[in-house]
Amino acid sequence: METTLTINQLSRRSGVAASALRYYEERGLIQSERRGSGHRRFTRATLRRLAFIVFAQRLGMSLAEIGAELDKLPTDHVPKGADWSLLSGPWSTRIDERIAELERLKTGLAQCISCGCLSLEFCRLVNPHDKAGALGPGPHYWLGDQSSNDD
C-alpha cells in the first residue's frame, strides 16, 4: 500500500480544494514529491500541516504569517508532537487576546453604542493598544492611525 496521497486524495481528506493545495505548494506552505509524470505525491504528514494552516487561518493569520510559523518546524525529521507544541504554545496567548477583544466588543456593543456615549471612544474599544493587530476580513487601514485624532 502506497502511503502517499494524490492531490485529490489529500483534498478530500483535508477538505481543502485541490487548487488551493497547488497554491499552498506554490507559496511554499506544503511540499510534494513528483512522479516521473509530474504528478504530485503528498505524505500523510501534510495532513497535519494542513490542519495547522486551516486553524491558523481561522485565527485570522495570513498565509505569509502561517508560512513563517511553519518554517520554524524542523526539517531533519517529520515533526512530532513536541515540535508542533513549540508553535502552538504562543498561540494560546494569541487566542486569549482575541477572546479578550471579543469580550470588549460585546460589552462595548451593549453599553457604548446603544446608550449613546459614543464618539471617537470606540477606537479605544476596538483597538486598545496593538496597532498591527488587525484581524478579521479586509484591509483595516484605519487601525493604528490615531495620530490625527485632534478634533
Partner DNA sequence: CCTTGACTTCAAGTTTACTTGAACTTGTAG
Partner DNA sequence: CTACAAGTTCAAGTAAACTTGAAGTCAAGG
Minimal distance in Å, beta carbon 2 to a copy of itself? Answer: 14
Give CA–CA dist 127/129, Å, rounded.
6
CA angle 103, 133, 108 (to 5 degrees): 25
Give CA–CA dist 14/40, Å, rounded.
16
Residue 44 binds to DNA (criterion: CB under 7 A): no
Range 75-114, binding a copy of itself (CB under 8 A): 80-82, 84-85, 88, 91-92, 95-96, 98-99, 101-103, 105-106, 108-110, 112-114
Distance, CA of 135 to chain centre = 10
Minimal distance in Å, beta carbon 100 to a copy of itself? Answer: 10
Residue located via cell numbers 481543502: 16
Residue 111 binds to DNA (criterion: CB under 7 A): no
Residue 43 binds to DNA (criterion: CB under 7 A): no
At residue 102, what is the residue type?
L
Residue 140 binds to DNA (criterion: CB under 7 A): yes
Distance, CA of 128 to chain centre = 21
Q: Of 107 and 145, which CB lies nearer to DNA in the complex structure?
A: 145
- Under the rule (CB under 7 A), what is the footprint of DNA? 6-9, 17-20, 22-24, 32, 35-40, 57, 62-64, 137-142
